[in-house]
Structure 1
């Protein structure tokens, strides 16, 4: 029987395709030949879900693979200043800093990821000391993660991504390195929620990942941006400090002038989009709210609590757009005739 080094490459690839990532990592340490072969062929890690949670004294991660198997590790600072890795079966000690060890392990797994990850999340919080106490740790992890993603030959295929962030550059450590062809949902959470701090997203909205996104969730952040950068989403929730009649109308339908300027990933807004479902805007101020009726006409329904509804039909008459205004929200919903 031939040894692994004597087998044809196509046979070797089929063998590695049947192995999980732990077996591949084990074989990688057996010989220099296997290490070089694995690094050259790069077999798929077959990750489906990556969930990372950063706390003040440790990092928790759960990897879920396509066959349903799990790896759950906790990386924490040991008494001698190194790292203690707690798995479901054992404890392992390392002399390196726990952030370095975690980042190295994450990098090794993502290096071999070829198929699409269904869900990737990075969260961080400290309910006792406040999230800003662990922001330096998170920034260090994000710096390492950005290096990992930059080192890949191809962008990471992720369908749904959720990132805890207090600053724009924290999102920019991950989002630009995700394959926009696969990305559907963008979630930007606030580890300090509730908070009235403004999140600037002027660089984020210029990314191809943003322009090609379909679903957006940023309800815990008050974002600093124009509504024109949200017209292409089919579903979502976003919070603004203030909205205007012009901003609401822009979401309803992009003007011909802006359409000609090609400032949007898609040339239509909620009313004309065949993929639109629903979108919610949370606001603290609505500039000249009373003028909305001048543009949309009299509400089709108005309740005593200042809730108003408008029905706007599209040209195809196959569906219509319902716009609901309350004291703190504007809802857009597609309804069928």
Structure 2
């Protein structure tokens, strides 16, 4: 009699499940109770590089990565009292099943089998009519999934349409030691809750921070430890900008700061600190400065534009790009 999978030693089964990957784990869980209990007892590392959760009205999509899943991911949609699931060219109707319940059941499985570091966790919601209804509910349910799992290790955390309390509520449930980048984009210019985000260890450990379309009221001193910064502030000051410049000149970590601003306190003081610009264009309201970095093969490039929006870019560049004249 030929042995079946259920007769295999645990160590062999674990290797088999590891090799088949996440899509087949879903299928094997449905085969028999033995496999479900085994996978629950010995979660296998699915080695997924990305989890993208996209939220539409009465539709949720989980994308993992092209090559592991189809590019349109697993689609969960509401069909009367049923749940319609589409994966690639396959489609299935689960009768009397809430589509929202089903997606979070599957997310629990995905996250339970993710032991290795996830490159990116993305939560997208581009539909304004559900920002105050389905989106907050999704965030709360995802929060419960993360609370019930081991600390998910994520390098890049990105939320498209979000507010800072939502970001903090999810980010604090991830492994703070692995986070490298935090990025957010919001159509609503509201920085309430930024102070709680700044207090998290994830903020302190991250290398890159990108906050798009939300001018924030915060001190630039909270950003000096980052390698890269892309942020718009409601107000900056000459003292803060001098700190940023000195940090880029002396730090071995800081690489580039892109700083938008609405108001600039004592701007003349900072411009006097920089000295005469290397180039200045009155028509485009743009100025460029270069500063040598001591004992380094790099120089500091400083660009200011006030043509459409107020903006500074300060970045370390190769010394070979430093103009001689």
Please state which band the TM-score falls in when normalised by the shorter chain: 0.7 to 0.9
Please give the secondary structure, in 2, of the residue aligned with 1:243: strand
Please give the secondary structure, in 2, of the residue aligned with 1:50: strand
1:77 partnered with 2:78 = yes
Tell me which of 266, 282, 303 is aligned to 1:324.
303
Q: Report if aligned partners of 1:46, 1:114 keep a CA contact under 8 Å in 2.
A: yes
Tell me which of 258, 277, 281 is aligned to 1:299.
277
1:139 partnered with 2:117 = no
Gaps of 5+ in 2: 320-325
Whole-Å separation in 1 of the counterparts to 2:93 and 2:166: 30
1:217 partnered with 2:203 = no
Tell me which of 210, 217, 237 is aligned to 2:230.
237
Scaled by the length of structure 1, the TM-score of the pair is 0.84
Whole-Å separation in 2 of the counterparts to 1:110 and 1:198: 30
The correspondence of residues 114-263 of structure 1 with structure 2, limited to 5 A, is 114-126=115-127, 131=128, 133-153=130-150, 155-190=151-186, 192=187, 195-253=188-246
Please give the secondary structure, in 1, of the residue aligned with 2:120: strand
Please give the secondary structure, in 2, of the residue aligned with 1:271: helix
Q: Report if aligned partners of 1:219, 1:237 keep a CA contact under 8 Å in 2.
A: yes
Whole-Å separation in 2 of the counterparts to 1:61 and 1:291: 51
Whole-Å separation in 2 of the counterparts to 1:143 and 1:110: 16
Q: Report if aligned partners of 2:23, 2:69 keep a CA contact under 8 Å in 1.
A: no
Counterpart of 1:59 in structure 2 is 60
Q: Report if aligned partners of 1:236, 1:278 keep a CA contact under 8 Å in 2.
A: yes
Per-residue deviation, residues 192-246 of structure 1 (Å, max 9, x unmatched)? 2xx5433541111111211111122212211221111111222231111121112
Q: Taking structure 1 as reference, are residues 10 and 150 closer, same or farther at Cα in structure 2, changes over 3 Å only?
A: same
Counterpart of 1:47 in structure 2 is 48
Gaps of 5+ in 1: 254-268
Scaled by the length of structure 2, the TM-score of the pair is 0.87
Q: CA deviation at 1:76?
A: 1.9
Whole-Å separation in 1 of the counterparts to 2:18 and 2:274: 58
Count matched residues: 311
Q: CA deviation at 1:122?
A: 0.7
RMSD: 2.2
